[in-house]
């Protein structure tokens, strides 16, 4: 140990180390980086690590650690990155950590941490850029002081027990690129102020109890690529402004209460790969515009009040389609186009419980990747 006192970097990740983390690591006075990721360390995090006062990076993720996060970690005033993800830690997050003014990344994903977040969260974190707290048992309201983390780029709180509203102050995080709030107990509305997040690329608020309509301001965030709002109580129609989201790749709006027609302006979503609008109350004609988005791999429109026929040229307009769910529509009629056999990547096709008629194309037998095929409840022969 004495001979290692000038050691600055200690990286032992991706090995098979087990047993407890040696407490003497904390006495390496010059240590700046300690990375023990992806081993099999057990026991507790030694409080003595706080003695390595020059530590800038502490990564002990993907181990078998248990117990609390030591309060003493908050004494590491030079820390920039703290990652203790994918362990079995319990107890609350020490408030002392939220006073490390140099810290840029805090990552505690997938533990069993509990308790509230402090009301003064971010008051002492002027340059925090990434906050990962997902997959824990944290509860209470989202602190409004989060808006003071003006440099925040990633905020990940999904799979916790947070409740209450999504506060409007979140719209002040102008540098935010990723916002994950899914699988909690948030209530109320999505605030209009989210439209101020002009750099946002990914928005996930699925599996909550959000009500009202999607604020029109969201459709002005031209950088959005991923939106997941499924399994809430959202209602109203999708506005034509959805066509502004030309960079959108993944759109999940299933299991809500949306009504009205699916906007023709969705044809502008030329980068779209996954579209899921299942189990809403959309009405009107099956939108042909969607079937011309050639990048689409997954279309799920089941359980809506849509009518019309399948496009005859579906095999040429959807060359990348893998999953096509159009079951349980109100009035889907006509025949199955022979061109569907040209969808060579198709793995799942469900057209059940509709009013289709005519012959099932023999050429479907050439779809070698097809493993789910359901035509039940039609008038096919």
- Per-residue confidence (pLDDT) for residue 357, from 0 to 100: 95
- Residue 353 contacts residue 376 (beta carbons within 8 Å): yes
Residue 7 inside a domain? The answer is: no
- Residue 82 contacts residue 58 (beta carbons within 8 Å): yes
Of 251, 245, 213, the closest CA to residue 232 belongs to 213
Identify the domain containing residue 347 by its residue range: 234-381
How many Cβ atoms from other residues are within 10 Å of residue 368's Cβ? 10
Residue 340 inside a domain? The answer is: yes
CA distance 370 to 367: 6
CA distance 349 to 353: 13
Q: How far is CA 31 from CA 22, 61, 78, 340, in A?
A: 14, 18, 11, 62
- Residue 180 contacts residue 158 (beta carbons within 8 Å): yes
- Per-residue confidence (pLDDT) for residue 381, from 0 to 100: 87
Structure tokens at 168: 């409007």
pLDDT in tens, 165-188: 999 999 999 999 999 999 999 999
The CATH number that applies at residue 239 is 3.80.10.10
Residues of the chain with pLDDT under 70: 1-3
Give 114's Cβ-side CA count (13 Å radius).
4
Residue 215 inside a domain? The answer is: no
- Per-residue confidence (pLDDT) for residue 6, from 0 to 100: 86
CA distance 314 to 196: 38
Structure tokens at 90: 């319990």
- The overall pTM is greater than 0.75: yes
Residue 360 inside a domain? The answer is: yes
- Total count of domains within the chain: 1
Q: How far is CA 127 from CA 49, 76, 253, in A?
A: 23, 16, 34
Residue 261 inside a domain? The answer is: yes
DSSP collapsed to 3 states, 166-224: CCHHHHHCCCCCEEECCCCEEEECCCHHHHHCCCCCEEECCCCEECCCCCHHHHHCCCC
Q: How far is CA 178 from CA 155, 185, 340, in A?
A: 6, 19, 37
Q: Which H or E run contains 316?
A: helix 314-317
Of 235, 268, 158, the closest CA to residue 203 belongs to 158
- Residue 129 contacts residue 106 (beta carbons within 8 Å): no
Residue 331 inside a domain? The answer is: yes
- Per-residue confidence (pLDDT) for residue 49, from 0 to 100: 96
Sequence-separated (6 or more) residues with CB below 8 Å from residue 364: 340, 341, 370, 373
Q: What are phi and psi of 265, to 5 degrees?
A: -65, -10
Structure tokens at 68: 């609390």
What letter does residue 344 receive in the DSSP assignment? T
Residue 34 inside a domain? The answer is: no
CA distance 165 to 175: 21
Residue 243 inside a domain? The answer is: yes
CA distance 245 to 129: 25
Integer-rounded Cα Rg, in Å, for the chain is 25
- Residue 122 contacts residue 99 (beta carbons within 8 Å): no
- Per-residue confidence (pLDDT) for residue 330, from 0 to 100: 84
CA distance 267 to 249: 13
């Amino acid at each position: 140990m004495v001979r290692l006192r000038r050691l600055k970097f200690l990286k032992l990740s991706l090995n098979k180390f087990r047993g407890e983390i040696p407490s003497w690591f904390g006495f390496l006075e010059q240590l700046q980086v300690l990375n023990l990721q992806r081993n099999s360390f057990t026991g507790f995090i030694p409080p003595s690590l706080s003695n390595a006062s020059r530590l800038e990076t502490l990564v002990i993720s993907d181990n078998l650690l248990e117990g609390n996060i030591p309060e003493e970690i908050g004494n590491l005033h030079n820390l920039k990155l703290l990652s203790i993800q994918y362990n079995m830690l319990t107890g609350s997050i020490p408030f002392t950590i939220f006073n490390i003014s140099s810290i840029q990344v805090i990552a505690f994903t997938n533990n069993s941490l509990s308790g509230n977040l402090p009301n003064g969260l971010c008051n002492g974190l002027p340059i925090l850029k990434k906050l990962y707290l997902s997959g824990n048992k944290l509860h209470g309201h989202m602190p409004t002081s989060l808006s003071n983390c003006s440099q925040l780029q990633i905020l990940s709180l999904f799979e916790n027990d947070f409740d209450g509203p999504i506060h409007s102050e979140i719209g002040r995080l102008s540098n935010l690129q990723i916002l994950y709030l899914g699988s909690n107990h948030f209530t109320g509305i999505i605030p209009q102020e989210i439209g101020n997040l002009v750099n946002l690329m990914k928005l996930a608020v699925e599996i909550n109890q959000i009500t009202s309509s999607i604020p029109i301001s969201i459709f002005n965030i031209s950088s959005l690529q991923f939106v997941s709002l499924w399994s809430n109580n959202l209602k109203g129609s999708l506005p034509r402004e959805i066509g502004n989201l030309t960079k959108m790749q993944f759109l999940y709006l299933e299991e809500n209460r949306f009504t009205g027609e699916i906007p023709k302006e969705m044809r502008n979503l030329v980068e779209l790969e996954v579209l899921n609008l299942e189990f809403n109350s959309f009405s009107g004609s099956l939108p042909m515009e969607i079937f011309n988005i050639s990048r689409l791999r997954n279309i799920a429109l089941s359980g809506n009040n849509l009518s019309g026929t399948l496009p005859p040229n579906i095999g040429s307009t959807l060359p990348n389609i893998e999953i096509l769910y159009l079951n349980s529509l109100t009035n889907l009629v006509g025949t199955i186009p022979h061109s569907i056999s040209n969808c060579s990547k198709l793995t799942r096709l469900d057209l059940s419980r509709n009013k289709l008629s005519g012959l099932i194309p023999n050429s479907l037998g050439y779809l070698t990747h097809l493993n789910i095929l359901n035509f039940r409840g039609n008038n096919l022969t």
